[in-house]
């Protein structure tokens, strides 16, 4: 199983894995306290925001403005979509500009590059494409899969990316699933198989100094609807077996990102508030952190998906997500592109923190986790 530092070495005692969560918690607390002393509330809140952007060149006005926001700490990262990729050289130049804007606290430079249909870097711009997860698992053992993902991760790291939103650890339970099974995004319906191939994906990225994000907690594989389009109720289809890949990976020391989906379950809806998992303290604070013992960074799926924006205002979304335990708020900025979206989110965070000391404390907690994770970029 995965570990950083000495956890992969044969001489490391087995019990070190059981000590890791405790040690991580102590270190996290120390980092949070130290970092918060050196940063303003606005700077801490800015690190919680990752946004999409328009433009595909360092000369584009929107890219210049976003670089300034990164430099000033008003956003903590950027998200690439396919229309941001005019050429590989242009992407590399943008990533270098974003990194140079904040060298001490590097931005999360993120994208979805799973393989198959879900990819932002394609053969059209000269990037070697790979098959989807289902095909990779069907044609290769985990070692072979890791070799495939190693090539992809090396090419992504060379362009300056620091975060790949993968692997998918959803179980391929519903063959008619509109967002997972339809595109072959799951490795298998068997949790142990998913764990093995997800580990291969993670190991390959870590070898290149990149971070990953297991998704879509608590499990999208049994759903009968697509959260991109609207409300998704998993109450009757979801089972605890869908948590097993998370249990296995976290037990092995995984602590990059966990991405939470916009999935509704009536037993975990925030006390009758009909909240999806991404806004529900029952899922994030209760299950993910409480039951599974996860101490790392929790990131939302895109908060502009139909499942969210059709039911909640921007203010409601931001406040509820943070109160639920979310650390990083991901906005693709595609619903109605707004160059000031990052600042609007930041304004909501800062204003609410001024009204509610507990909300301000949540921001400090998230900032500590984010600083700790950013310290591993490139390592």
Using CA atoms, how far apart are residues 88 and 91, in angstroms rounded to an integer?
5
The candidate with the shortest Cα–Cα distance to 219, out of 161, 166, 142, 277, is 277
- Name the phi and psi angles at 296, rounded to 5: -85, -165
Whose tokens are 């993910």? That residue is 288
Which residues are tagged catalytic? 228, 301
Helix (H, G, I), strand (E, B) or coil at 154: helix
**Closest CA relative to residue 297, chosen from 32, 119, 16:** 32
Q: Specify whether the CB–CB gap between 327 and 299 falls below 8 A.
A: yes
Give one DSSP letter per residue of 341-360, joined into a string.
HHHHHHHHHHHHHHH-HHHH
* 185 burial level (CB within 10 Å; 0-12, 13-18, 19+): buried
The pair of structure tokens assigned to 255 is 């602590």
**Nearest-10 crossing angle of helices 314-324, 341-355:** 60
């Amino acid at each position: 199983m995965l570990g950083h530092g000495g956890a992969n070495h044969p001489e490391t005692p087995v019990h070190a894995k059981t000590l890791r969560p405790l040690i991580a918690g102590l270190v996290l607390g120390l980092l949070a306290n130290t970092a918060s002393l050196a940063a303003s509330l606005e700077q801490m809140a800015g690190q919680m925001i990752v946004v999409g952007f328009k433009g595909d060149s360092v000369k584009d006005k929107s890219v210049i403005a976003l670089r300034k926001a990164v430099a000033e700490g008003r956003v903590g990262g950027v998200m690439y979509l396919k229309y941001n990729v005019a050429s590989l050289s242009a992407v590399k130049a943008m990533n270098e500009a974003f990194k140079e804007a904040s060298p001490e606290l590097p931005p999360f430079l993120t994208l979805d590059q799973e393989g198959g249909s879900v990819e932002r870097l394609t053969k059209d711009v000269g990037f070697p494409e790979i098959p989807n997860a289902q095909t990779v698992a069907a044609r290769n053992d985990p070692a072979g899969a890791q070799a495939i993902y190693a090539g992809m991760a090396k090419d992504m790291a060379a362009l300056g990316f620091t975060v790949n939103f993968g692997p998918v650890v959803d179980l391929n339970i519903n063959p008619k699933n509109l967002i997972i099974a339809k595109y072959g995004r799951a490795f298998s319906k068997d949790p142990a198989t998913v764990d093995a191939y997800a580990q291969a994906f993670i190991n390959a990225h870590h070898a290149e100094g990149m971070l990953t994000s297991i998704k879509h907690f608590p499990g999208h594989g049994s759903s009968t609807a697509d959260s991109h389009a609207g409300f998704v109720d998993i109450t009757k289809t979801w089972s605890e077996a869908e948590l097993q890949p998370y249990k296995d990976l976290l037990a092995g020391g995984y602590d990059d990102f966990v991405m939470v989906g916009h999935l509704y379950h009536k037993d975990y809806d925030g006390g009758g508030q009909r909240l999806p998992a991404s806004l529900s303290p029952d899922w994030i604070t209760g299950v993910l952190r409480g039951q599974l013992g996860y101490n790392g960074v929790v990131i939302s799926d895109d908060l502009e998906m139909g499942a969210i924006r059709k039911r909640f205002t921007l203010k409601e979304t931001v406040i509820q997500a943070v109160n639920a335990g979310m650390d990083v708020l991901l906005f693709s900025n595609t619903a109605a592109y707004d160059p000031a979206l990052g600042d609007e989110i930041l304004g909501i965070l800062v204003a609410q923190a001024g009204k509610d000391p507990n909300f301000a404390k949540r921001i400090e907690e998230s900032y500590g986790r984010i600083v700790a994770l950013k310290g591993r970029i490139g390592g």
